[in-house]
Chain A
Amino acid sequence: MLRIEKLNFSYDGLQVLWDVDLQVNEGEIVTVLGSNGAGKSTTLSNISRLVKPDSGKITFLDRDLAGMESHDVVEMGIIQVPEGRRIFPELTVLENLRMGSYIRNARKWREENIERVFDLFPRLRERQKQLGGTMSGGEQQMLAIARGLMACPRLLLLDEPSLGLAPLLVKNIFDIITEINRQGVTILLVEQNVYQSLRIAHRGYVLETGRIVLTGKGEDLLNDDHVKKAFLGM
Chain B
Amino acid sequence: MDSASMQPVLLFLQSLISGILVGGVYALIGIGLTIIFGVMRIINFAHGDIMMIGMYLTFNLFNLFGIDPFASVLICIPLMFLFGGLLQKLFVNRVLNALPQNQILLTIGLGLIMSNTVMLIYTSDYKILTTSYSSGSFKFMGISISEPLAISFIITAVITGLLYWFLMKTDMGQAIRATAQDRQAAQLMGIDVRRMSIISFGLGAALAGTAGALISPTYYIFPQIGSTFTLKAFVITVLGGMGSVIGATLGGILIGIAESLGAVYISSGWKEVLVYMIFLLVLLFKPSGLLGKSRV
Chain A interface (Cβ < 8 Å from any Cβ of B): 48, 50, 69-71, 74-75, 79-80, 82, 86-91, 95, 98-100, 102-103, 107, 147, 151
In the bound complex, do residue B185 and residue A88 qualify as a contact, i.e. CB atoms below 8 Å apart? yes
User: Which residues of the partner chain A approach B188 to less than 8 Å between Cβ atoms?
Assistant: 48, 50, 70, 74, 79-80, 82, 86
A100 touches B189 (CB 8 A): yes
Is there contact, CB below 8 Å, between B189 and A151?
yes
**Residue from B171, B182, B185, B188 with most neighbouring chain A CB atoms (10 Å):** B188
Which residues on the A side are within 8 Å of B116 (C-beta)?
Answer: none
Considering the complex of A and B, which 9 residue pairs feature the smallest CB-CB distances, nearest first? A74-B190, A86-B185, A103-B190, A70-B187, A71-B190, A88-B181, A71-B192, A88-B178, A80-B188
Q: Which chain B residues border A82 with CB–CB below 8 Å?
A: 184-185, 188
- For residue A99, which residues in chain B have a CB less than 8 angstroms away from its CB? 174-175, 178, 186, 189, 191
Interface residues on B, range: 10 to 19
Partner of B189, one of A50, A74, A89: A74
Q: How many A-B residue pairs have CB under 8 A?
A: 62
Q: Considering only CB atoms, which chain B residue lies closest to A98 in the complex?
A: B174
Contact assessment for A86 and B175 in the assembled complex, using a CB-CB cutoff below 8 Å: no
B46-72 to A contact mask, C-beta < 8 Å, 1/0: 000000000000000000000000000
Contacts of B189 in A (CB 8 A): 74, 99-100, 102-103, 147, 151
Q: Of residues A48, A98, A99, A103, which shows the largest number of chain B Cβ atoms within 10 Å of its Cβ?
A: A99
| Complex contact A75–B190 (CB within 8 A) | yes
**B191–A86 CB distance below 8 A:** no
Cβ of B232 within 8 Å of any chain A Cβ, yes or no, is no
A57 to chain B, nearest CB (A): 22
Q: A82-B184, A98-B171, A102-B171 are in contact. Are A91 and B178 (CB under 8 A)?
A: yes
CB distance from A15 to the nearest CB of B (A): 21
Residues of B within 8 A of A70 (CB): 187-188, 190
CA distance A138 to B184 in the complex (A): 21
Chain B positions 163 through 203: 1 when the CB is less than 8 Å from some CB of chain A, otherwise 0 = 00000000100110110011011111111100000000000
Residues of chain B lying within 8 A (CB to CB) of residue A103: 189-190
- The B237-271 residues at the A interface (CB cut-off 8 A) are none
Instruction: For residue A79, give the distance in angstroms from its CB to the closest CB of chain B.
Output: 7
| Residue in chain B with minimal CB distance to A147 | B189
Contact status of A95 and B190, CB under 8 A, knowing A82-B185, A88-B182: no
Other than the given A74-B188, A88-B185, A99-B178, 12 more pairs (CB < 8 A) read A69-B192, A70-B188, A74-B189, A82-B184, A86-B182, A88-B186, A98-B171, A99-B189, A102-B191, A103-B189, A107-B171, A151-B190
Q: Establish whether residues A90 and B190, one from each chain, have CB atoms under 8 Å apart when the complex forms.
A: no
Complex Cα spacing A102 to B172, Å: 9
Residues of chain A contacted by B181 (CB below 8 angstroms): 88-91
A50 CA to B171 CA, complexed, in Å: 23
Chain B contacts with A in 183-232, Cβ cutoff 8 A: 184-192
Contacts of A88 in B (CB 8 A): 177-178, 181-182, 185-186
Question: A228 CA to B187 CA in the complex, in Å?
Answer: 37
